[in-house]
Amino acid sequence: MDEVQELREAIRRARGIVVLTGAGVSAESGVPTFRDGDGLWKQRRVEEVATPGAFREDPRMVWEWYDMRRRAILQCAPNPGHHALARLLMAREDVTLVTQNVDGLHDRAVMEAGGTLPHPRLLHLHGTLFVVRCSVCRWEEPNSEPIEDLPRCPRCDALARPGVVWFGEMLPEHALEAAFDAARVADLALVVGTSAVVHPAASIPRVVVESGGQLAEVNLDPTPLTPLARWSLRGASGEILPQVIVE
């Protein structure tokens, strides 16, 4: 049996699967990375933009940056990898999909598969671009509109910000706890399109292995998790996932 068939079987047999995805799962959807850019946009380093300090200093620049990314990503579509993961998530109660991505493409794949949002087992560790939240109180709401003026909180009138986790900020507690709870009881960690260098996300698959489970990785390149992988499939997730997820 080759690795694809073995992994397909392992997914079918597993009791409890935690999927961890990163930017690579959206690469085939054409999601522009920070390094893309047609020159119309000043090349800015993420650290200059995705931080509380940058927002305090120049909220307009930060919102211009996020508005550009929101508009660009709304032109992209979920790829076959997102759709395969959405099918798996909706077909089985024992599957938890944990993403580091803020592009909302897993959510759109779930909706296109007939699911409703927010999906209780789709966990966003780094938030999402398509929520606007207050920078002071707890107000937030889904929002995919173009940002013209600086949005303000309707409750306390403070500046509103993108609903993403910035460098140096805490991750959403519920998502993190739910991800580690699922990892402790999962048979299988399926790690897709992440360089596995950012924690605590990259520790989640390790907990599955430490708890006696197995790890499968789908990536173009090796990562720090590759040595732990029982299956390590080198290739594009948009091609591989539909072969191993045949729910």
| Residues near ligand APR, by CB under 6 A | 22-24, 27-28, 100, 126, 193-195, 198, 218-221, 223, 236-237
DSSP label at 224?
T
What's the closest the beta carbon of residue 224 comes to ligand APR, in angstroms?
A: 10
CB of 197: closest distance to ligand APR in angstroms?
Answer: 6
Beta carbon nearer to ligand APR, 27 or 136? 27
Sheet holding 17-21, edge to edge: 122-124, 95-99, 17-21, 188-192, 214-219, 231-234
Give min distance, CB of 30 to ligand APR, in A: 11
Tell me the C-alpha distance between 237 and 247, whole Å. Answer: 17
Task: Answer positive or negative: Cα dihedral of 119, 120, 121, 127.
Answer: positive
Known catalytic residues are 126
Please choose, from the candidates 154, 129, 133, the residue with its C-alpha nearest in 3D space to the C-alpha of residue 31: 129
CA distance 116 to 118: 6
For ligand APR, the closer of residues 183 and 191 by Cβ is: 191
Q: How far is the CB of 223 from ligand APR (least distance, A)?
A: 6
Q: Which is nearer to ligand APR, 79 or 214 (CB)?
A: 79
CB nearer to ligand APR: give 194 or 214.
194
Q: Is 183 helix (H, G, I), strand (E, B) or coil?
A: helix
